[in-house]
Every structure is written in C-alpha cells, then in structure tokens.
C-alpha cells in the first residue's frame, strides 16, 4: 500500500505524496490567513507522523502530534483570539523575540539530549534543533505573529538538507517550496501588520 514509486525522477511513497500535497495546501492557506489551514495542518501532520517514523526521524514524528494539538489551539485562536474577534497579524515586541529565541535554544538542548540517549536516530542534534524551531514557529503562527515566517524560512532551508540526507527527496523538494512560500508569507503578513499599526 505504501510501496516506493517514482514521480518526475523523485523516489517517494503514496503516503509521502499525500502528506506533501496537504502540507502545501496548508501553507498557501496560512499565507492567505484562512482558518481552514488548520484542518489541513491536522491531517498532514497525522500522515507525516507515519512518514517520519519510517525514516527514524523521531523528533519530527513526535512534533507532528504536537502540531495536531497546536493546530486545534491555533484554529481557535484565529477565530476567537481576542475580545474584539479574530486575531490579526502583528509583530512581536523585542522581549517576545528574546523569549522565542530562548525557547528555541532550551527546546534544542532538551530534545537533542533525549533523542541522542533514548532513540536510534542518527541525527539527534539536527532533528532536535529543527523540531524545537518548528515548535516556536507553530506557536508564533497560532498567535499570528509576523516573525513566525522568519522562523519557518530558517527552519525550512535546513530541513531541505536533512531530508535529502534521509532520502525523503519529495519532502526535501516540498521544504524548498516552503522556503519560497514563507518568503511570500512574510511579505504578505508584514504588509497587513503595517496597516494594523497605522489603523
């Protein structure tokens, strides 16, 4: 059912292909600030959990379950995040940026230590670093902070290399596309945030 197949010279599986499509739809809807993005995020996270388990990327696999929970919370935040109605895109305060970087660092130390000592992954530090960054990015996205796109640009670039190394070629291509989409998201949300500030 999940046998290897080749598309345009890229080796993949049906499950990875389905995950690819769902994740791409998620990001496009996020850029457009459509709350239905969270539904696609939940489904793509569930399918990618299976893909990453097969690739022994346990940090990424576990991250998908966190993404599912965060997506439910993010969906609620986007619809009911303030007393005045749905959230709008805004910038973090300087202190918020500092806390975000600190959370990324602490998450990296904890996750990479766990993965190195309690799993058979061959990339504990890369997996831990990118998993921690993805958690920060997801939380910032749920709160509609523009800086979530900065995080995703950095994380997605590094994920391309990791997935090439792990043989997840189609997912590596997806994350290359994600870099371009994240740049588009940054531009779109920055414009919205500037309008909000001057409203």
Cα–Cα distance between 189 and 37 in angstroms, integer?
Answer: 15
Domains of the chain: which residue ranges?
5-197
Confirm if 191 and 180 have CB atoms less than 8 A apart.
Answer: no
Return the percentage of the chain with pLDDT > 70, whole number: 93
Query: pLDDT tens digits, residue range 15-28?
Result: 888 988 999 999 99
- Tell me how many degrees the CA angle 124-103-197 measures, rounded to the nearest 5: 135
Q: Is the pLDDT of residue 82 over 70?
A: no
What is the percent of the chain where pLDDT is above 90?
59
- Reported as a pLDDT band with limits 50, 70 and 90, residue 63 is confident
Q: Is the pLDDT of residue 6 over 80?
A: no
pLDDT 10s digits, 106-160: 999 999 999 899 888 899 999 999 999 999 999 999 999 999 999 999 999 999 9
What integer pLDDT is reported at residue 108 of this predicted model? 97
Query: 195: which residues sit within 8 A by CB, 6+ positions away?
Result: none
Sign of torsion over alpha carbons 37, 39, 40, 46: positive
pLDDT for 83 beyond 90: no
Quote the mean pLDDT of the chain. 89
The predicted pLDDT at position 96 comes to: 96
Residue 120 pLDDT: 87
The better pLDDT of the pair 18, 4 is held by: 18
What pLDDT was estimated at residue 100? 97
Does residue 2 surpass a pLDDT of 70? Answer: no
| Residue that has been written with the tokens 């670039």 in this structure | 157
* Alpha carbon distance 162, 134 (integer Å): 14
In this prediction, residue 55 has a pLDDT band, given cuts at 50, 70 and 90, of confident
Rounded average pLDDT over 31-38: 92
pLDDT at 190: 96
């Amino acid at each position: 059912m999940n046998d290897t197949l080749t598309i345009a010279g890229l080796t993949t599986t049906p499950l990875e292909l389905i995950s690819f499509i769902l994740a791409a739809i998620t990001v496009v809807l996020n850029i457009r600030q459509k709350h239905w993005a969270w539904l696609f995020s939940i489904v793509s996270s569930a399918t990618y959990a299976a893909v990453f388990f097969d690739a022994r990327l346990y940090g990424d696999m576990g991250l998908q379950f966190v993404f599912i929970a965060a997506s439910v919370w993010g969906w609620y935040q986007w619809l009911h995040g303030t007393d005045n109605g749905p959230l709008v895109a805004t910038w973090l305060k300087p202190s918020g940026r500092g806390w975000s970087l600190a959370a990324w660092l602490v998450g990296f130390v904890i996750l990479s230590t766990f993965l190195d000592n309690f799993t058979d992954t061959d990339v504990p530090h890369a997996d831990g670093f990118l998993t921690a960054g993805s958690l920060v990015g997801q939380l910032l996205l749920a709160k509609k902070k523009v800086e979530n796109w900065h995080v995703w640009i950095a994380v997605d670039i590094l994920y391309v290399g990791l997935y090439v190394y792990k043989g997840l070629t189609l997912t590596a291509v997806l994350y290359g596309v994600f870099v371009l989409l994240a740049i588009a998201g940054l531009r779109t949300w920055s414009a919205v945030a500037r309008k909000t500030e001057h409203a």
